[in-house]
């Protein structure tokens, strides 16, 4: 099977206008999680390659890319978006093989990547400063300026979507980027680099260096010539990135996942809620930062909802990504072990229902059957910690205050939703739920290019997506002119 993205050698890095082998000559194997076979070798970039990439980004920022007008930046992003759509089948297949996500879900990510390019193409020339009334004889105004070189360390769960929201916004406002994709899945990051090149993005405006986190990732986050860091991934590595950012006093955006609740009141439309409740837990095999892993339901309808969700769970099928079932494999055997460890910790809970791994799923694949647990202890590990697998718990609550206390009772705060027909309750919950996004009578795991996104608490800080991201990728300059 040809998995060379757009005909590229996947063991090369994009530095400046060139695809080149990492200086060390080292590679890492890329595994197909659907069957455990090796897909290809990727570059094991290290500090030397990161240095070259940062230097190339700096030169682009000081050179043609830094001088490009907002209109020119918008046009090149629009061309990238067009190319993404022209290559959508190839990109979806690469993402499906690499991440293990069912083909249809991978295709949705391709479309989201194109949408990010379209959105930020349109936004590039619409970021305005202000004029500020000041003392007599002064005119004061603000300029939104790019930081310079931005470092983007992204995970394996949604490579295309996270490239779109992070690199797309950074480029729109004129930063030059160094992208370090995850060692588990980086083929679409390579393809994106090539499409950007073909679209006419000036050399060095985007550099792509795959490699291990502890080498390429650590080198990028510690680099003294990087002006902003954006990271999506685990809390543990987020702390390391924030520490590196502190050393260099650079701003950092962290998106570290969550334990996002959906709160279902007794008056909710269960039929409307049901597909959202389950999909938000099993989409991408639960490996979604905004996965909804906790379903809170009023005690009067607990049994009814648990039964309805169980009905769905028993029909869920897990199998190879290209078979396009409900759930693919997890990204790796390592992730499978993490998730199985959590499932074992649920041994003292009632297992309400399981999905099924299809009989012909290859032995070497990283499959985990989806699990639904009933949970009467909101402090249980499965109700507190991010599992990052197809596992949900259903928790009863007594009344609104109790629901809010449970919903807000973890250290995370990324997304939450509230299902109720009571308008006043919707408004109260929207304010009380601790989360960067609150959905009322819907849930948008990973969706919404236009919607500012990010967390509080252990979920991180800073906002990506939507127009808001453009503020994070710029720094504000105030100009005070005295003219008498």
255 touches ligand NAI (CB under 6 A): yes
Catalytic residue among 255, 356, 386, 464: 255
What is the nearest approach in angstroms of ligand NAI to the Cβ of residue 480?
A: 39
Please, are residues 80 and 201 in contact by the beta-carbon 8 Å criterion?
yes
Q: Give me the residue label for tokens 């290209």.
A: 322
* Shortest spacing between CB 380 and ligand NAI, in angstroms: 17
**Would you call 177 a catalytic residue per the annotation?**
no
Rounded Cα gap, residues 73 and 86, in angstroms: 20
The residue within the footprint of ligand NAI, chosen from 113, 205, 256, 282 (CB under 6 A), is 256
**Spatial distance between the Cα atoms of 475 and 454, rounded to a whole number of angstroms:** 19
Torsion angle (degrees, nearest 10) of CA 332, 335, 340, 343: -140
Min dist CB 264 to ligand NAI, Å, is 24
230 binds ligand NAI (CB under 6 A): no
Q: Which of 10, 151, 155, 396 binds ligand NAI (CB under 6 A)?
A: 155
3-state SS class at 206? strand
Question: Taking CB under 6 A as the rule, does residue 386 contact ligand NAI?
Answer: yes
If one asks whether residue 214 binds ligand NAI (CB under 6 A), the answer comes out as yes
Judged by CB under 6 A, which of 6, 153, 393, 470 binds ligand NAI? 153
10, 74, 217, 378: which one binds ligand NAI (CB under 6 A): 217
| The one among 149, 182, 330, 406 contacting ligand NAI by CB under 6 A | 182
For 462: left if phi > 0, alpha if psi spans -120 to 50, otherwise beta; the answer is: left
Percent of the chain as helix, strand, coil, to the nearest 5: 40, 20, 35
Site for ligand NAI in 266-305 (CB under 6 A): 289
Angle between helices 400-407 and 423-432 (to 10 degrees): 30
Residues 6+ apart with CB under 8 A from 316: 282, 326, 327, 355, 356, 369, 370, 390
Decide: 120 and 168 in contact? Cβ < 8 Å: yes
- Bridge pairing between strands 391-397 and 294-298: parallel
> Any catalytic annotation for residue 418?
no
Position with the least CB separation from ligand NAI:
213
List 289, 356, 400, 464, catalytic entry:
289
Among 32, 166, 221, 293, interactor with ligand NAI by CB under 6 A: 221
338 binds ligand NAI (CB under 6 A): yes
Residues belonging to the active site:
255, 289
Residues in contact with ligand NAI by CB under 6 A are 153-155, 157, 180, 182-183, 213-214, 217-218, 221, 232-234, 237, 240-241, 255-257, 289, 338, 386, 388
């Amino acid at each position: 099977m040809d998995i060379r993205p757009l005909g590229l050698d996947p063991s090369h890095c994009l530095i400046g206008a060139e695809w080149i082998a990492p200086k060390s000559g080292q590679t890492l194997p890329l595994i197909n999680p659907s069957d455990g076979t090796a897909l290809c070798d990727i570059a094991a970039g290290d500090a030397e390659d990161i240095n070259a990439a940062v230097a190339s980004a700096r030169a682009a920022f000081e050179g043609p890319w830094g001088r490009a007008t907002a209109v020119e930046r918008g046009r090149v992003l629009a061309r990238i978006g067009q190319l993404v759509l022209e290559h959508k089948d190839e990109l979806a297949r690469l993402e499906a093989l690499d991440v293990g996500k069912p083909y249809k879900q991978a295709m949705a990510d391709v479309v989201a990547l194109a949408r990010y390019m379209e959105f930020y193409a349109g936004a590039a020339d619409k970021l305005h400063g202000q004029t500020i009334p000041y003392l007599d004889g002064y005119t004061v105004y603000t300029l939104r300026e790019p930081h310079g070189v931005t470092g983007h360390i992204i995970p394996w769960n949604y490579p295309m979507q996270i490239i779109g929201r992070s690199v797309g916004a950074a480029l729109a406002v004129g930063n030059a980027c160094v992208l370090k994709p995850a060692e588990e899945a980086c083929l679409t990051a390579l393809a994106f680099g090539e499409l950007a090149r073909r679209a006419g993005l000036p050399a060095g405006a985007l550099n792509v260096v795959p490699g291990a986190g502890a080498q390429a990732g650590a080198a990028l986050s510690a680099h003294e010539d990087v002006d902003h860091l954006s990271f999506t991934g685990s809390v543990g590595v987020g702390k390391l990135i924030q520490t590196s950012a502190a050393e260099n006093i650079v701003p950092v955006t962290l998106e570290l996942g969550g334990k996002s609740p959906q709160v279902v009141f007794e008056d909710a439309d269960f039929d409307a809620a049901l597909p959202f409740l389950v999909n938000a837990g099993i989409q991408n095999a639960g490996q979604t930062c905004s996965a909804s892993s906790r379903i809170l339901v009023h005690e009067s309808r607990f049994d009814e909802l648990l039964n309805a969700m169980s009905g769905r769970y028993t029909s869920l099928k897990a199998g190879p990504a290209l078979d396009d079932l409900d759930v693919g494999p997890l990204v790796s055997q390592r992730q499978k072990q993490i998730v199985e460890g959590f499932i074992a910790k649920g041994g003292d809970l009632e297992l309400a229902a399981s999905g099924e791994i299809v009989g012909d799923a290859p032995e070497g694949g990283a499959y985990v059957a989806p699990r639904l647990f009933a949970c009467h202890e909101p402090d249980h590990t499965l109700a507190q910690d991010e599992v990052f697998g197809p596992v949900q718990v259903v928790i009863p609550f007594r009344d609104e205050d109790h629901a809010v206390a449970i919903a807000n009772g973890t250290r995370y705060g990324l997304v939450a939703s509230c299902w109720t027909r009571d308008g006043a309750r919707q408004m109260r919950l929207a304010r009380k739920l601790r989360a960067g996004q609150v959905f009322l009578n819907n849930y948008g795991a990973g969706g919404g290019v236009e919607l500012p996104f990010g967390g509080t608490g252990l979920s991180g800080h800073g906002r990506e997506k939507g127009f808001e991201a453009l503020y994070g990728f710029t720094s504000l300059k105030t100009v005070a002119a005295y003219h008498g």
